[in-house]
Amino acid sequence: MKHFFSRTGVALACALGLASCGGGDNGQLQISVTLVNVTKPGLKLQNNGGNFYDVPPGAVYSFPDLIPIDGSFDIVAQGQPPNTTKCEVVNGKKKATNISLQTIRVECTLITYHLGGTISGLTGDGLVLVNGTDKKTIPAGTTSFNLTVDPGNGGAVTGKVPEDAPYGVLIFNQPAGQTCTVANGTGKMPAADNATINITCV
């Protein structure tokens, strides 16, 4: 009988959720975070004042610790990948619901660099260069260029390229009365400005 009551007492203690029984975490929900521009290590994330976890590069990070169905989350970012200027948590502090768990994300801002090179023989107007969705018109007489476009007045700067991103510069529109060709127009962006593209117009 002693053995019977001993086992019963242990079962009751576990039912009450005592940590000594192991498995004290009664969470059932996993927190997953959508990652934006996390392409290198360096970011750490914490939930509800717990441990900071290293976040590997990727599109989604899932915390190893679960939270209760009626619980809440409070996600904090620490550090950032070396190729970013900042990382911010969006929708990171709420009560856990099916909707709120799908809106958590960490957005990092990538460091970007100028992409350009040299132009020879350009005498006509109308030359337009393109890299992906970025376009830039190059005036006659230009001998060096980059694809950066800064509209000013707080407008979005376009044409700069982040480290390790592929690029492919093409002629979108030829200048009046001339034909231009591109050399060294494709590659992977270094962690610096790149002026290795050569354009020749005849």
Which of 87, 40, 33, 24 minimizes the C-alpha distance to 62?
A: 33
**Average pLDDT of the residues in 30-52:** 96
Pairing state between β 29-36 and 105-110: parallel
CA distance linking residue 41 with residue 29, whole number of Å: 26
Confidence at 1, pLDDT banded by 50, 70, 90: very low
111-134 exposure pattern, b = at least 16 Cβ within 10 A, e = fewer: ebbebbbbbeebebeebebebeeb
| Residue 7 DSSP one-character state | H
Q: What is the pTM of this model?
A: 0.78
**Average pLDDT of the residues in 144-169:** 93
Q: What is the pLDDT of residues 163-190, one digit of tens each?
A: 999 999 999 999 999 999 999 999 999 9
CA distance linking residue 141 with residue 138, whole number of Å: 9
Question: What pLDDT does residue 75 have?
Answer: 98
Which of 121, 115, 143, 117 minimizes the C-alpha distance to 200?
A: 121
**Span of 9-13, 114-118, 154-158, 183-187 with lowest mean pLDDT:** 9-13
CA distance linking residue 129 with residue 170, whole number of Å: 6
Question: What pLDDT does residue 117 have?
Answer: 98
CA distance linking residue 185 with residue 166, whole number of Å: 11
Other C-beta atoms closer than 10 Å to the C-beta of 173 total 14
> Is pLDDT larger for residue 44 or for residue 25?
44
